[in-house]
Amino acid sequence: MLPLSSLMYAIPNNTRRVLTSWKSNTDPSPGEFVAELTPEVPPQGLVRKGSLPYWRSGPWAETRFTGILEMDETYVNPLTMVQDVVNGTGVMTFCALRNFDVSYIKLASDGSLNVRRSNGGNTGWIKHFEGPLSSCDLYGTCGANGMCIRSISSPICKCLKGFVPKSDDEWNSGNWTRGCVRRTELSSSCQGNYSSTTQSKDTTDGFYRVANIKPPDSYELASSGDAEQCRQGCLGNCSCSAFAYIKGIGCLVWKHELLDMVQFTQGGEILFIRLARSELAGSKRIKIISVSAISLCVIIILGLAAFGCWRYRVKQNGQARVAMEVSEDSWKNHLKSQDVSGLNFFEMHTIQNATDNFSISNKLGQGGFGTVYKGKLKDGKEIAIKRLSRSSGEGTEEFMNELKLISKLQHRNLVRLLGYCIEGEEKLLVYEFMVNKSLDSFLFDLKKKLEIGWSKRFNIIQGIARGLVYLHRDSLLRVVHRDLKASNILLDEKMNPKISDFGLARMFQGTQNQDNTGRVFGTL
């Protein structure tokens, strides 16, 4: 398989493009091994021996296969993946390895998958990747609910916590294919009810954490937002036996037996296995004792620290109160000199009422500048409030920068600043609220990115370009944003893009074409 070759599937046409092994090293006729891309969401690479699975890569997570330990942050990945869930297609393309003259993928006659590279000359072919590496990598070595331990040689299989061998005699003799079964059934609200999608709230089930795992086969992508929602979704579904929240994928759940599990010595993912509460009781008691001892020590230390802080604050309180008054007056005087006409001044109590006193449920995000909250004014208008972090010295400069620039810039592809608030140590900016949040929430979510086809993406690109042309050429000021990224592109209800966050922006004179800075800016 040479660079720019690909494996693919198309469910509507029932077509596949696969890589087939030779019959032997000297016989190029089709062999018994086939490498293919599976249509699961997300997809995974699979090598079959005839009709049976032989080795699999684990699910794809943006830039890597989760079951291939070598694919960490330092790995030079030669693969790109495009999956269209709506139309039932997927393509994995092999790209040429960077800095190497020649590279290829070969499925050998023994079923091993090899990636080789060469710089030319007399160095020969160098191994870039090879799998499977051990018997642990072979599909289903330890059977259902069994885990293959890569760090030891014999025995290599063990049952998951809360499970026992289905056949003790076979297991002890080294035949692990029949796997393991639960020692204790799950809560009574789920027994005999695995077709149910919901479970009563008085469940006595829990989860056991297993680290350094190659995710099992037969997973499903769930719509849960974060790790806690993923956990609650699994706990509330009688058919869910395990879950994992994986970077680059999101929430995966398993509704059947856990098959083809491998545990690495390092790396891998974290899997949470559903168990009856009685299976977790022992570990819970130890945990409670440990937490109690640690908590007592922490309370003593915090008590001493609090006493010291109290004495210090009593001493500094008078000075701080004077400093606050001076600071607030100097801010307001400075704003008058900056001509921020057209902006409303919001009272602090108005913002507190709009955000339910900065409730965590209204929190939209957080950055180096501070925290952003959603708010609702008395007239029903929704707003976004950026609250300056009190500890951020650079945030103060960025606050003034946004006030000065956005009050003077007006364009349909720039976010609109409605006003500001300064009271005591509090400094806040009030913006129009963007219903669809930021562009990165669509681009880097496996499900939401399907909502923006190429037509919408092109319109978003056009809108961003129009905003930049206005900043660089058409406005009365010449402004360079200096921190343009997907999270700083907001989307309104019609998916129109709005460039936001001008805290790091720099304003130039009409004839000025360069400037120097003493600070590092931007996002890697």
Rounded Cα–Cα distance for residues 519 and 517 (Å): 6
Q: Running along the chain, 524 residues long, what does each successive block of 10 average in pLDDT?
A: 89 93 93 95 94 94 86 69 91 75 86 82 74 88 92 76 93 90 80 45 77 94 85 90 93 93 89 90 52 72 75 54 43 56 82 90 76 91 85 61 77 89 86 90 84 92 93 82 86 93 72 48 44
- Quote the pLDDT of residue 498: 94
**Which part of the chain is CATH 3.50.4.10?**
146-165+179-281
Rounded Cα–Cα distance for residues 118 and 134 (Å): 25
Active-site position among 72, 379, 483, 501:
483
The structure tokens listed for 239 are: 């058919």
Quick count: other Cβ atoms within 10 Å of Cβ 340? 18
* CATH number for domain 146-165+179-281, candidates 3.50.4.10, 3.40.50.720, 2.40.50.140, 1.10.1740.10: 3.50.4.10
Rounded Cα–Cα distance for residues 460 and 464 (Å): 6
483 is catalytic: yes
The answer to whether 386 is annotated as binding is: yes
Region at 513 (left for phi over 0; alpha for psi -120 to 50; beta for the rest)? alpha
Rounded Cα–Cα distance for residues 169 and 183 (Å): 17
Residue in the block written with tokens 């805290």? 503
pTM over 0.85: no
**Which part of the chain is CATH 1.10.510.10?**
344-508
Rounded Cα–Cα distance for residues 148 and 155 (Å): 9
CATH of domain 344-508: 1.10.510.10
Residue in the block written with tokens 């400037």? 515
Sign of CA dihedral 508, 514, 520, 521: positive
- Quote the pLDDT of residue 359: 87
**Looking at the chain, how many residues does it have?**
524
Nearest Cα to Cα of residue 84 among 185, 20, 10: 10
- Quote the pLDDT of residue 291: 61
Rounded Cα–Cα distance for residues 212 and 331 (Å): 52
Rounded Cα–Cα distance for residues 153 and 359 (Å): 54
